[in-house]
A and B are shown apart, each in its own frame.
Chain A
Amino acid sequence: NAGVTQTPKFQVLKTGQSMTLQCAQDMNHNSMYWYRQDPGMGLRLIYYSASEGTTDKGEVPNGYNVSRLNKREFSLRLESAAPSQTSVYFCASSEMGGVYNEQFFGPGTRLTVL
């Protein structure tokens, strides 16, 4: 039982390049999330998927797109990377919302945009 897995662990991009961050969970959770973590800012929600087939914007969605590929997988895409997107990205999943929203986190992807 791997929990939440993320690939890649590290990535360096040049400004304007695109990339997709992959996330998968094996806990049969309905809901999945993408966060970014910046020093002194805590975690900020980028997008979430309450259930398969739905996605919604979080606090900081600009510059990102997401795809809920199936119940297990939720990807985050940067179409044209900018230095301001240098951050650590975390994927999380939960059984569902509300009282069942104990979120389980992946190990993170460290992204640097030059």
Chain B
Amino acid sequence: AQSVTQLGSHVSVSEGALVLLRCNYSSSVPPYLFWYVQYPNQGLQLLLKYTTGATLVKGINGFEAEFKKSETSFHLTKPSAHMSDAAEYFCAGLGAGSYQLTFGKGTKLSVIP
């Protein structure tokens, strides 16, 4: 069964520092993978997605993620954190042909001035 694990429920970075949020998936077939962001008291918004093809995926707001099959990972990065990046981030995976997204438990990102 598909599962998604996010390492670290809380991550703090200084403004201008690298953001790295970790996500690992388990699956016997390459999945479709997504990163969503949730700002306080709002719904989820798609940051980026991996389906097939290029393993480095660029998303909105300067975020990108790299699909590494050998490591079963799909970590989210941003070179320089902004205060506006403070939010909760969710990694999600979808098995081929499935309608069911499996979400990780989320990582809350704090940005320190």
The chain A residues found within 8 Å of chain B, CB to CB, are 4, 31, 33, 40-45, 48, 50, 56, 58-59, 90, 92, 94, 97-99, 101-108
Contacts and interface: CB of A to CB of B under 8 A. Distances in A.
Interface of B: 9, 32, 34, 36, 41-46, 49, 51-52, 90, 94, 96-101, 103-106
Contact of A97 (B51, B99, B106): B99
Contacts of B98: 97-98, 101
Contacts of A58: 100
Contacts of A94: 99
Q: Which of A41, A59, A101 has the most CB of B within 10 A?
A: A101
Contacts of B36: 105
B43 A42 contact: no
A48 B97 contact: no
A40 B96 contact: no
A90 B44 contact: yes
Contact of A42 (B41, B46, B99, B103): B103
Given A98-B94, A105-B43, A106-B43, A48 B49 contact: no
